[in-house]
Amino acid sequence: MLKSLAGKTVIVTGASRGIGRGIALRFGQAGINVLAVSRSQADADAVAAQIGTHAAGFAADVSTAQGCAAMVQAALQKFGGVDILCANAGIFPAAKLSEMTVEEFDHVINTNLRSTFLSTQSVLPPMSKAGAGRIILTSSITGPITGYPGWSHYGASKAGQLGFMRTAALELAPKNITVNAVLPGNIFTEGLAANGPEYIAAMEASIPLKRLGSVEDIANAALFLASEEAAYITGQTITVDGGQVLPESLGALES
Ligand code: NAP
């Protein structure tokens, strides 16, 4: 049983759907004040309404400095501080390398990696003032561990988050701010479902635990990294993938 985090405040980016929504709901259940952020105010508000009066929705594009600054101001106004950031917003459109445009590459890098830098930087003043903070990045197995055709830009953005994390963890350790990452495998979300039923079936078949992950699987890992019990962990990753990266061959999976 982890010590209660009730009364703390989290900003969850990309909270209107999928993994971010799962994190927002789980943290909300734990009594944590939640600022649920997405580009759509209505979708963010709907998640906040599901959590209750200790939550609010906020519309921001976290690939912009203005968006990140505004979301932190909103959290300070509504809840008086920011104890935890879950930098989760991300996109994964597919494009083969031979056809990928510069605009497509930049869009993925800006949404996934630049947002990690900007959202982390924007929570530093309140966390530094409080003398403590937890930053939890949603990375991926794709990039840091595996590759998948169509996702060279995505893989670069997700591996880039880990490079960012290691130096950020070092710089922020003296301020008692930890920075860690969760690496989801294939988690059933609206975004993942858009890859189509063939993709989903192929992934299910390659996961030793024989199911796609749930958003709760990721939210529980994020909540652990936010807990008091994880205070001495920084610059680390937790892979939550049902064992997907383990088999060296199809034979290893079948036996
Ligand atoms: P999803 O269902 O498509 O949800 C993405 C969320 O990000 C939405 O709330 C979306 O809301 C928000 N978003 C996108 N661009 C944004 C921006 N510029 N500013 C603010 N919010 C933005 O995706 P998901 O599957 O839950 O993935 C969430 C994260 O997990 C991503 O970082 C992804 O790389 C990572 N991940 C997912 C899986 C998986 O299997 N699902 C596996 C590994 C890693 P709006 O569109 O309204 O802004």
* Phi, psi (degrees; rounded to nearest 5) at 156: -65, -40
* SS3 call for 233: coil
CA-closest candidate to residue 26, choices 36, 39, 40: 36
Which of ligand 1's atoms lies nearest the C-alpha of 154? 34
Q: How far away, in angstroms, is 20 Cα from ligand 1 center?
A: 7
CA 57 from centroid of its chain's CA atoms? 17
For 126, the token pair is 């309140």
The per-residue pLDDT for range 26-77, each reduced to its tens digit, is 999 999 999 999 999 999 999 999 999 999 999 999 999 999 999 999 999 9
DSSP per-residue letters across 61-124: -TTSHHHHHHHHHHHHHHHS---EEEE---------TTT--HHHHHHHHIIIIIHHHHHHHHHH
The per-residue pLDDT for range 147-188, each reduced to its tens digit, is 999 999 999 999 999 999 999 999 999 999 999 999 999 999
> From the CB of 89, is ligand 1 less than 6 Å away?
yes
Of the chain, the percentage scoring pLDDT greater than 90 comes to 95
- Cβ atoms within 10 Å of 23's Cβ, excluding its own: 32
Architecture of domain 9-187+215-239: 3-Layer(aba) Sandwich (3.40)
The average pLDDT across 98-125 equals 98
| Active site (annotated) includes residue 154 | yes
pTM: 0.98
Q: How far away, in angstroms, is 101 Cα from ligand 1 center?
A: 21
